[in-house]
Amino acid sequence: MREKLLILLAFSPIAIWANDSTGYVSTGGVQYLKNKDIQMHSEDLFISKKQIKVDYQFKNLSQKDVTETILFPLPPVENFFESDFADTERLLQSFKVQANGKTIQPEMHVRTFIQKDEKSKPVDLTAEFKQCGFTEKEMLNPWNRQNYEYAPFEAKLRSCNNAKLQQVLPENKDESIAWSSQVIYSWKQTFKAASLTRVQHQYAPLVGGSVALYPAEDEKAYCMDSSFKAGLKKAKSQHAPYQALGYILKTGANWAKPIQDFKLTVERDADELVSFCWAGKVTKISPTRFQMTEKNFVPKQDLDIIFVRKL
């Protein structure tokens, strides 16, 4: 059996920071490091503010078993708490995965990064944090927020005698250290020869938003068409509170072939209006659910969804 690397659910961070807002980081779709033998046969994706569920069927096109290391990387989250933020700990607690109907207990890996300034890229310093005496619980602090005090972490970083670490710390010792933490789940998965393998996972998404909507600013990001704007006006919700979440679809284009059967269902609450960008047909299948189906689907855009409360 061959063993390669499969990355399931790659995330890229999108944060909204303001005094009256909460932030969110986009969760994502399937990314695969090219393997001509493994096809994403189907994907059934359900998105709501409370839960994201994905049901995949992967087809092994070869006549031999293929074993992969599957990764579920969550986005990096900064160790700053000046504003409210999406419920990161709830995501960790809610994540579940099954393969062919059997529950899998994935292994958790925690990685840490420091970004010296706005022009620099974050540097992976996981080994250096451990060398400097950080426990995994401390490295996980941006996610579980066991400690809201910055001083103990910064003192430990400043006093650590590690050349690589000291090179990326801000030269001004009064300046806060912008460090972040990423959680990655992993497990082994065998794709049986000439067979379908079903992988399901679910979790509570990272939801953000704001106390007031300004359509002129958000129109493009959420494809607010004339019908949606008319609904806002009718509901007197042009400046109503809203929530939003993001989902990365484009990584689904990295497989050996297009996704043969793709289905996306978006659910809103009964007292909300919802808007998002979609190039194909959107069908309302119930008072609160919208569904999109595609054949031989190659995703070319990600998904940002806004939920606006009716006043």
CA dist., res. 261 & res. 296, Å (int): 6
* Among candidate residues 89, 134, 94, 80, the one with its CA nearest the CA of residue 112: 134
The alpha-helical segments, DSSP class H, found in the chain are 88-94, 126-131, 136-139, 141-144, 151-159, 163-168, 215-218, 226-234
On the question of pLDDT at 8 being above 50, the answer is no
Q: Which of 4-18, 42-56, 112-126, 168-182 shows the lowest per-residue confidence on average (mean pLDDT)? A: 4-18
Residue linked to tokens 């995994």: 136
- Angle, CA of 159, 160 and 162, to the nearest 5°: 140
Rounded to an integer, the average pLDDT of 63-77 is 84
Span 190-213, average pLDDT: 91
Residue with tokens 């030269």: 171
CA-to-CA distance for 177 and 168, rounded, in angstroms? 9
Best-predicted range by mean pLDDT (96-105, 211-220, 248-257): 96-105
CATH code: domain 2-309 is 2.60.40.3680
Q: Could you report the per-residue pLDDT of 159-182, keeping only the tens digit for each?
A: 999 999 999 998 888 888 989 998
C-alpha 33/C-alpha 21 separation (Å) is: 36
Q: Which of 73-77, 111-115, 171-175 has the lowest mean pLDDT?
A: 73-77
Q: What is the pLDDT of residue 88?
A: 86
CA 231 to each of CA 248, 271, 287, 288: distance values in angstroms, whole numbers, following the listed order: 27, 12, 14, 14
Residue located via tokens 């620099």: 120
Q: How deeply is 188 buried, as exposed, middle or buried, from its count of CB atoms within 10 A (0-12, 13-18, 19+)?
A: middle
pLDDT of 194 strictly over 50: yes
Measured CA to CA, the distance from residue 125 to residue 167 in angstroms comes to 11
* Assigned token pair, 305: 């969804």
The model's pLDDT over 17-47, given as tens digits with 9 standing for 90+, comes to 222 223 345 555 444 456 678 888 999 999 9
265: β partners: 46, 291
Q: What is the pLDDT of residues 290-309, one digit of tens each?
A: 999 999 998 888 899 999 99
The domain ranges of the chain are 2-309
pLDDT at 220 over 70: yes
